[in-house]
């Protein structure tokens, strides 16, 4: 079951363009109330709550979520494996792990597994939560922008390499046609690794002078 709460900006409803849709995945009612109260100090935050991982994944599939606050101890999932489902369901949505364990190794493992941050229940303040939400969203946006740029570079490289390969194939065919006609090749090499690929072959001296003259 997923529920929703809206927290206006400075006492008034925040514009839709500035709202932040946060999905809290938590089955403990006391923790839900605490996070809800803390998020009231995050301008424009819209809080939705799912009490199990299955409901959270279903909600993510509908889109519109900016960030997930994920308890790592849920009725239907425990530990770091809990991270995998939301990360796979919505790779572009940042996930912040929540746990009652103050464990540096677990925190590091969670971040390495894909979480943007790791918060220990009982140590979180409204200010820490606000900063964590904002920073996690901005980091994820930066990561996605970098991935897009890398994707464009890879596509450009593939297009360029494909074009060069087609040109080399054409030059090879030209040389073959000339050879079948008993003529010298036009290009010295059509091999991709050759430094002089595409350079016209030098014509034999007798051909360039119109034949050998007797003295």
- Asked if residue 27 lies in contact with residue 51, where contact means CB atoms within 8 angstroms, the answer is yes
Q: What pLDDT does 161 receive?
A: 74
Least confident piece of the model among 53-57, 75-79, 121-125, 175-179:
175-179
Least confident piece of the model among 13-17, 36-40, 42-46:
13-17
Q: What pLDDT does 111 receive?
A: 93
Average pLDDT over residues 43-62: 94
Question: Quick one: pLDDT band at residue 147, thresholds 50, 70, 90?
Answer: confident
Give the three-class secondary structure for 127: helix
The pTM of the full predicted model, rounded to 2 decimals, is: 0.63
CA angle 138, 50, 60 (to 5 degrees): 50
Rounded to whole angstroms, the Cα distance separating 56 from 53 reads 5
Average of per-residue pLDDT values in the chain: 81
Question: Under 8 Å CB-to-CB from 91, ≥6 apart: which residues?
Answer: none
Average pLDDT over residues 35-40: 92
CA distances, 26 to each of 143, 154, 159, 187 (Å): 26, 40, 47, 69
CA distances, 205 to each of 158, 177, 181, 189, 210 (Å): 41, 22, 19, 20, 8
- Residue 181, H or E segment: none
- pLDDT at position 11 over 60: no
What is the DSSP secondary structure assignment for residue 213, as one 8-state letter? P
Domains of the chain: 2-149 (3.40.50.2300), 162-204 (no CATH)
Tens of pLDDT, residue by residue over 149-208, are 777 777 777 777 777 777 888 888 888 888 888 888 887 764 544 444 445 555 444 444
Give the three-class secondary structure for 161: helix
Tens of pLDDT, residue by residue over 110-139, are 999 999 999 999 999 999 999 999 999 999
Which residue from 39, 34, 9, 8 is spatially nearest to 22, judged by alpha carbons?
Answer: 39
Give the three-class secondary structure for 166: helix
Q: What pLDDT does 13 receive?
A: 38
């Amino acid at each position: 079951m997923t529920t929703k709460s809206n927290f206006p900006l400075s006492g008034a409803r925040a514009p839709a363009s500035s709202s932040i849709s946060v999905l809290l995945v938590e089955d403990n009612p006391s923790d839900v109330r605490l996070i809800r109260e803390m998020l009231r100090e995050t301008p424009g935050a819209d809080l939705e709550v799912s009490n199990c991982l299955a409901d959270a994944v279903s909600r993510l599939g509908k889109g519109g979520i900016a960030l997930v606050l994920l308890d790592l101890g849920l009725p239907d999932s425990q530990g770091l494996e809990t991270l995998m489902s939301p990360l796979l369901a919505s790779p572009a949505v940042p996930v912040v792990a929540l746990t009652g364990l103050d464990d540096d190794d677990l925190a590091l493992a969670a971040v390495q597994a894909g979480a943007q941050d790791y918060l220990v229940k009982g140590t979180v303040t409204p200010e820490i939560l606000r900063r964590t939400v904002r920073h996690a969203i901005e980091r994820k946006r930066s990561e996605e922008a970098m991935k897009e740029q890398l994707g464009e570079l890879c596509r450009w490289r593939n297009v360029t390499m494909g074009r060069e390969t087609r040109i080399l194939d054409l030059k090879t065919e030209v040389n073959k046609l000339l050879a079948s006609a008993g003529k010298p090749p036009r290009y010295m090499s059509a091999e991709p690794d050759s430094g002089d690929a595409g350079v016209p072959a030098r014509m034999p001296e007798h051909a360039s002078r119109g034949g050998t003259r007797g003295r």
